[in-house]
Structure 1
Amino acid sequence: MTSTLGIDLGSSPRTAVIRELDPLAADGPCLDLRHHNERSDVPALVAALRALVPSADEVAGYSVEACVAAMRDLGMFLGSIKRHGPEPLPLVPEVLPVLLELGRRTDMVPRDTVHHYTNWNPTGGRQRMYTGDIQEAYLQESVRMVFPHLREALELAERLSGAEVADAKFAALTEELTGHVEAMVSAIDMVVAKVSPEFFARGLRAYFEEITLDGRVLLGPAAAQVPLWLIDQAIWAADNSEPEYEEFLRDSVPYSLPRWRELYDRWTGVPSVVTRLVEAYGDDPDGAERRMPGLRPSTEALARLLRVIIVFRGRHLGIARKAYDADLRLYPVGSGGASVDLLRQIIDLTRATARLTRRPAPSAAAHAERRSA
């Protein structure tokens, strides 16, 4: 996986390097941040952020990995200040050119993302946390568990997007992809078991609020930036989605890694894997299977993949329903901009797609079924 930088910031070796780096000497201030947040001490947060802002010359000497680590640590203070009310940039305007340059150097948005908060975050005593609560650590670890599997899954999805659906390797690739999605289910099960809806809704959610930066509204770290939706795009959503989900994807793409943005562009506007499968069956499913013996194993493997995705989304919907219940929530939508209604719609869309793989139908009829679902 490469990007316009020529390096893969999501790889395990790069991630390990970034976690070790502390270019702003922020280890101590990031520990103090938890206490400032507990006391809602905005002046202390502002003073700490101002003290961390590097000079232009210092930033010029950073490696790309150090730029990522610097964005990670500045972002912890941006989110903390906003959690207690004020927009951070007017209070510390000198951080603006630094954020813009760090974003340019890393080819990412000019603020911290879920990648910075979880995957690029040190573990152990140096872990950056808003609250220091063990539940926050479990939430961070659950996402940290997902990223290696998601990275492999997306590369497999790219191979699937170019593979013939009746080829023997198609089913094997799909099964491998399913294994990585199953690991994501295990991660979300950790959240269900270890993180209460009350803690997330009332203790943590406020730290992920959007900020305004150079006239642009930028979302905070959010689950929506862990792009299972990108697997959707390759498998079914590129041509079987709905406008609200399509808009949500477009809004989420900028917060992804450069390589993942490339994949989104590649898979948008081309037939999805499910569409190609339906077209392969054509008007004579039995005849298609006789001519192409690999078609049925591919269909069964794809159906299993979609079932696992539905399980994951069901778990996520359950968490969201509790955290954003009207009697508990402080915010009406998730930090990535998705409402509970949208999550429910995405599950319905995935289930409708899964029905196409269970009983192949003539192409026109299949699309009619999909539209009426």
Structure 2
Amino acid sequence: MKSPTDLDLGNPIRTAAIRELDPLAADLACFTLRRQNADVDLPAMTGALRDLTPTVERVDTFSTEECVAAMRDLGMFLGSIRRHGAEPLELVPAATPVLHELGRRTDMVPRDTVHHYCTWNPVGDRQRMYTGDVQEAYLQESVRMVFPHLREGLELASRLSDLALEDAKFAQLTDELTGHTETMVQSIDMVVSHVSPEFFARTLRPYFEEITVDGRVLLGPAAAQVPLWLIDQAIWASDRSEPEYSEFLRDSIPYSLRRWRELYAHWDRIPSVVSRLVDSFGADAEEAVRRAPALRASAEALARLLRVIVVFRGRHLGIAKKAYDADLRLYPLGSGGASVELLKQIVDLTRATSQLTRPGARGHGHGAAHGGERRSA
């Protein structure tokens, strides 16, 4: 059997290649799925999943890109069957070993993720959709437009995590990261403009329910799997978070790409950028800035980055409050497992963290506002 690839599944060339692939010859079946969902035709979609599921031996002949595309297409049927009240693998048990093998070959969880549903999804006539509604297409595009910027942003965050704040390059790199992060704001604005809370809460959200694979409960494709939270981890959350957010991060990381899981593991072991800034300011911030003038520019750049993240978080919270209002919602939690209360906590934590970028602010050590001891590199 082939081993998981060491190549980057998120790079633009491979992403474009995956979108073009149809290893299960599923184009027609995926298009027909829209009508089957509208008709609540569970037997038809179950039969289609059974017919599309390849053997493990056939999967072994697939390229890594074909494995991603196969998981994408099987995932549309997993989510649809679950939406209509059944556990898909109880109805089609032959799919279980295939999902495990596809997950192993791509080094991802053994089901589809938001990356399959949005980033690796074809565009145009071949686009895989549960409903075919234009609002669903806008939601998919909002993730698709963010993905390359987030990928670049995470690599910039990786450089920042190893760069001294007194280095003149630090502010420049942080501003580049801010530019990529601003795409998240554009994305959420697209959702606000084109996707109603009612459509998401009552029509689309049920397709993102969890399924059980060999006793393991796996979340469906969720916007929370687009890891802006990983930028949080690098900049402040590795040692300035709260237990609820830290647990959410740990639960979300398995749905990420390998490179992003590696970054999370690295950042989880070292002081956050903001904690390093607080240490650089020391007891006399003005004196620290006099000794290292670039430190002020670094702090101001971090403040700009955190302001953009707060704007995104605030708008996301506004959407979530509407979609998960008690009179509208079908589920108490988001598809990624977060509550509205947790989203509000994250906004508050980010705002509080942004105050620490001001020279003279107090917030020494790990979890300064929350207690605990700081980690060392």
- Scaled by the length of structure 2, what TM-score is found? 0.96
| Counterpart residue identity of residue 298, structure 2 | S
Count matched residues: 369
Q: Secondary structure at the match of 2:370?
A: helix
Contact 2:79 2:207 survives alignment (8 Å): yes
Q: How far apart are residue 270 of structure 1 and its match?
A: 1.1
Structure 2: gaps (5+ residues): 372-377
| Counterpart residue identity of residue 117, structure 1 | Y
Percent identity reads 72
| Counterpart residue identity of residue 201, structure 2 | A
1:189 is aligned to 2:179: no
**1:323-364: CA deviation from partner (whole Å, max 9, x where unpaired):** 000000000000000000000000000011001113433554
1:282-321 equivalence runs, <5 A: 282-321=282-321
Contact 1:20 1:122 survives alignment (8 Å): yes
Which residue of structure 1 lines up, in the alignment, with residue 59 of structure 2?
A: 59
Q: Secondary structure at the match of 1:166?
A: coil
Which residue of structure 1 lines up, in the alignment, with residue 139 of structure 2?
A: 139
Cα distance in 1, alignment partners of residues 359 and 279 from structure 2: 13
1:128-277 equivalence runs, <5 A: 128-277=128-277
| Counterpart residue identity of residue 265, structure 1 | A
Q: How far apart are residue 286 of structure 1 and its match?
A: 1.0
Which residue of structure 2 lines up, in the alignment, with residue 347 of structure 1?
A: 347
Contact 1:282 1:361 survives alignment (8 Å): no
Which residue of structure 1 lines up, in the alignment, with residue 370 of structure 2?
A: 371
Contact 2:36 2:44 survives alignment (8 Å): yes
**1:62-99: CA deviation from partner (whole Å, max 9, x where unpaired):** 00000000000000000000000010101000001100
Q: Secondary structure at the match of 1:371?
A: coil
Structure 1: gaps (5+ residues): none
For the aligned residue pairs, the C-alpha RMSD in angstroms reads 1.4
1:56-95 equivalence runs, <5 A: 56-95=56-95
Cα distance in 2, alignment partners of residues 88 and 81 from structure 1: 6
Contact 1:281 1:362 survives alignment (8 Å): no
- Scaled by the length of structure 1, what TM-score is found? 0.97
**Compared CA separation, residues 4 and 58, structure 1 to 2 (3 A):** closer
**Compared CA separation, residues 171 and 111, structure 1 to 2 (3 A):** same
Cα distance in 1, alignment partners of residues 362 and 38 from structure 2: 60
Structure 1 consecutive aligned stretches of length 4 or more whose deviation exceeds 6 Å: none
Contact 1:89 1:213 survives alignment (8 Å): yes
**Compared CA separation, residues 362 and 311, structure 1 to 2 (3 A):** closer
**1:18-75: CA deviation from partner (whole Å, max 9, x where unpaired):** 0000000000000000000001110001000000011222111000000000000000
Which residue of structure 1 lines up, in the alignment, with residue 105 of structure 2?
A: 105
1:334 is aligned to 2:334: yes
**1:2-22: CA deviation from partner (whole Å, max 9, x where unpaired):** x96221100100000000000
Q: Secondary structure at the match of 2:356?
A: helix
* Structure in which a larger fraction of residues adopt helix: 1
Contact 2:52 2:74 survives alignment (8 Å): yes
**1:236-294: CA deviation from partner (whole Å, max 9, x where unpaired):** 00000000000000000000001000000000031000000000010011110110010
